[in-house]
Amino acid sequence: MQLNPPMNMMDFFRKSEGTWFSVRTVHHFDSVEDESGESNLIIQVLEPNAPQVIEVCKLQNVDPALASGGASFMWQGNIDDREPNSDYAAILVDIPNPENNRYGKFLRNRGYVEGIPVIGVYQFADDGILTINTEYERNQGQERSWFLTDDFRVRVMTVKMMNGVNQMAYCSERRCVSQSKLEEMIERNLGKR
């Protein structure tokens, strides 16, 4: 099966929509703290007129008319069946380059490295690999993400402080099958007996 990688941020958000089982390995170079683990990543696409998109634009003093849309990202423990905790959530808003939508900026209501509103820049390479660079007050972050199949993707991140690389992380993420899709698959397989 030929993979058609997303080549702009909104296509990336759309291809990422759903729940993902994420296995994360984290390496800190200045502490013994271990943030490795398993979690669920829940992604929901937001249209340009969604209240969350408009709110983040206003927070960053950006004209909402420049936004092509956005996405809500929520994390929760893998076996946690409660509603996701809003303390582990972020809204990203896409502001594509009007000349070439493979490049652009994204607004984030809460940064990954520092929990403050932040603006990052992104680009999609010819092979579909997304690179995001974010400047924080005291740190720099870079994330690269790509799809291996429609239902499996990889992310690698580095966080650099003034004295060099502080943290590296690797995540492999597999799309979770919805209950209705699972029931459909069971029915289809039972019918083949």
pLDDT digits (tens, 9 = 90+) for 141-180: 899 999 999 999 999 999 887 777 788 999 999 999 877 8
Nearest to 139 by CA among 30, 56, 62, 36: 30
Phi and psi for 134 in degrees, rounded to 5? Answer: -130, 130
pLDDT tens string 33-67:
777 888 899 999 999 999 999 999 999 999 999 99
Q: Which token pair is 50?
A: 């969604």
Q: What sign for the dihedral angle of Cα 83, 25, 104, 15?
A: negative
pLDDT, average across residues 114-122: 84
| pLDDT of the residue at 132 | 96
pTM of the model: 0.86
User: Is 82's pLDDT higher than 70?
Assistant: no
How far, in Å, CA of 119 to CA of 11, rounded?
19
Percent of the chain exceeding pLDDT 90 equals 58
Spell out where 68-179 has E strands.
69-77, 89-96, 103-108, 118-124, 130-135, 140-149, 152-161, 164-175
| pLDDT of the residue at 99 | 96
CATH number belonging to the domain at 9-191, selected among 3.90.105.10, 3.10.129.10, 2.60.40.420, 2.40.128.20: 2.40.128.20
